[in-house]
Amino acid sequence: MKNLFIILFAIMCFASPAFANSVTGNGPVIASFQKDFRNAEDVQWSMIDNYYKASFMLEGQYVTAFYEENGHLLALTRNISTTQLPLALGLELKRNLGHYWVTELFEFTSEEGTSYYVTLEDGSESILMRSSGHSDWLRVRKTAK
């Protein structure tokens, strides 16, 4: 399951819409989505590798759901603000921000649990960090701009 997590994360971070194929529909996936997210609005489907990706608005939040071909929900992501982080993660982030600013923050939920990802930037570099629980951050990668 850990490999699935890594694959989905890589797809989310590195696959641009230009590489996503338009999806007209898959019976089990559409049925599962409609059951899971009855109130979803502005749904846009794409397919990346063998995964179905639904991007949509749910109760005023941008959400992305990843499905297998059989309709099994693999993972969810949603953009969040720093105030929506667990308290210890938010405090740890603020303590270590330094001269960086938050450019992206999202929650990743799968069968393995929930993780948080944050991208921090300054004028010369970008750092991607992942929560390692509910109180610590681990650096995933650091890149020069």
Task: Give residue-wise pLDDT tens across range 77-90.
Answer: 999 999 999 999 99
Q: Rounded mean pLDDT of 60-70? A: 94
Q: Is 116 exposed, middle or buried (0-12, 13-18, 19+ CB in 10 A)?
A: buried
Does one domain contain both 94 and 132? yes
Domain extent at residue 12:
2-76
Do residue 71 and residue 14 come from a single domain?
Answer: yes
Tens of pLDDT along 84-137?
Answer: 999 999 999 988 888 899 999 999 999 999 999 999 999 999 999 999 788 899
What 3-state DSSP class applies to 130?
A: strand
Burial 84-95, CB ≥16 within 10 A → b, else e: ebeeebeebbee
Count how many domains the chain has. Answer: 2
Say whether both 94 and 40 belong to one domain: no
Q: Do residues 96 and 42 both lie within one domain?
A: no
